[in-house]
Each structure stands twice: as C-alpha cells, then as structure tokens.
Chain A
Amino acid sequence: MDKLLKPLTALGASAPLRKSLGPWELVERVDVALASVAPRRGREGEVARADVPVPAVAASVQGDPWSSFWLTPDMFMVEAPFASHEDIRAHLLGIYGDAASVTEQTDAWVRFDLLGPGLERLMAKLCNVDVVAAPEGYATRTVIEHMGCYLIKRAPSSEGAVTLYGARSMAGSLLHAITLAAGTVA
C-alpha cells in the first residue's frame, strides 16, 4: 500500500512548499501533529501536572517533544513531531486519561512559518496583531482576509519568526494573501 497511497500537502503537492517572499521565507510545515486539549472542569490541576506544558493566556510554550499554544479559555493546542506522534490523540489520552477532552487536529490546519527580520511590515499588512509589541511566544487568533488564523510569535522581532495556522481547506487562499501582501510591502 505504501507504493499506492501518497499523501498530499494542504496545497495539493507531494512536498511541502518552501518559498522566498522578497526578504522573507515561507516554509510550509507538514511535520507537526496537532491536537486540542480542553481540561474538564475541576480537573485543570491534573492537566497542569502532566508532562505536556499548559500555556498561559495568549502565550505558547516550546518543548521537546510537546509544545503548546493557547486557543481560548480552558482550551489549548498541543504540537508534537509528526514522525513520532502521528497518533497524537492516543498519546495524549494516555497522559490525561479522562481529565481532558482531546481532539485530533492535525489534518484540519495548514501551517506556514514565516522567517526573516522585518516581518512586522508583512504582518501589519495581513492582520491587526502588533507583532513588535507582542512578547516572544505570543499566541493569538486573528483574521487574515476573512480567514480565522492562529498566529504565534516564535522569536524576537529582530530575528523574525512567525507561525500561522490557517484552515487546511483554505490553504491556497491564505498563501495567496501572504504572497500578495509580501509583494506590496517587501
């Protein structure tokens, strides 16, 4: 079967996209497994004591193998390497038991990492998040050309590293929006 079935990326290609946008680089990431975690009420302490980091409000935590970022009150997204954690929900259920509701999210999202100094010019064109003022690790939901996205600031503004998660079904539209914006402000 390995020879018959070939997975496609969110953009319909056989390999993830890597693209220069003027001074910046866009890297599509397909090597990350995702799951959302919602601690059950009264069980937050058990979830906080587990090995998976629980992010503070509007923040993210990077770790190995588990990273996470805040989604909304009482819910956060967990990231792990796809190669070792493709079945991420089973991993997390093994950790949390019934203390949290875990939903597999890997194939619901497209992830673009944007890299390079001066990214704030591009982000200012795309959305209303002030990535310069935002602290490192800042995570928020925002809207880019009517598409709900998660934005995570991965590094200080001087280095420039932002992760965007958009709906997988709108991957092409999100890429188009980013490419267009980069063309006008690069």
Chain B
Amino acid sequence: MLIPHPLLGLRDAQEFVYMGDAALIGRPDGGDIATLHNYLYLRDNPAGEHRELWYHEQGDRSWLVVTRNTATHEILGAELARDVARAKGRSK
C-alpha cells in the first residue's frame, strides 16, 4: 500500500504508523463529561470512506489525515494534519 504524502509523493505505508480516527483532532475544549467521554471512547466504524491519522514515523515525521476506503483499502487522499487542524480553527 502506498500513501500519497502531500509533500513527498508516494511513500510505502510501512513507513507510517496508524494513529487512529482523524476525529481525534477535534478534542473538546472543556465541555461536560459526556462530551469528553464521547471523544475519548466512541468511534464510528464505517465500511467505506474513513478519515484517519497516519504518522510518518520513518520519514519526515509529519502527521497526515488520510482518507481511506475501509472496504477496498483504496487511498483517496492525504493532507497534512496541521492544515486540517488549522482549517478547523485549532493549533492557532
């Protein structure tokens, strides 16, 4: 499997470490205990398109948001996680 790194081009998936659902970027600031519980423990498990965090551990060590089809393993895109986070108003 190849990951289309937005800066470095196609890279072997073995260089990366899977770091979970990209929804983890949306950590709640404060909020009630139920919101925090949902963030920590509840995940969607879709058969189909899924946005997930991949860490380029054996490369430039950037974090990516990779969109992957969990049914076919097709990689549909990759963005730098910091760009995604900043677009959401995080990591100011």
Contact = CB atoms under 8 A, between A and B. Distances in A.
Interface string A21-34: 00000000000000
Contacts, number: 30
A72 interface: yes
Chain A interface extent, by class: 10 to 19
Interface residues of B, number: 12
A141 B60 contact: yes
Contacts of B60: 58, 70-73, 140-141
Contacts of B88: none
Interface in A106-148: 128, 140-143, 148
B58 A143 contact: yes
A57 interface: yes
A140 B15 CA distance: 12
The DSSP consensus for interface residues of chain B is: loop
Interface in B26-51: none
A134 to B, nearest CB: 11
Nearest to B80: A73
A141 B62 contact: no
B12 interface: yes
Contact of A128 (B12, B61, B82): B12
Nearest to A142: B58
A51 B12 CA distance: 36
Contact of B62 (A73, A142, A148): A73
Contacts of A142: 58-59
A57 B8 contact: yes
Interface of A: 57-58, 70-73, 128, 140-143, 148
Given A73-B62, A140-B8, A143-B15, 8 more contacts: A57-B8, A58-B60, A70-B60, A72-B62, A73-B60, A73-B80, A142-B59, A148-B58
Interface of B: 7-8, 12, 14-15, 58-62, 80, 82
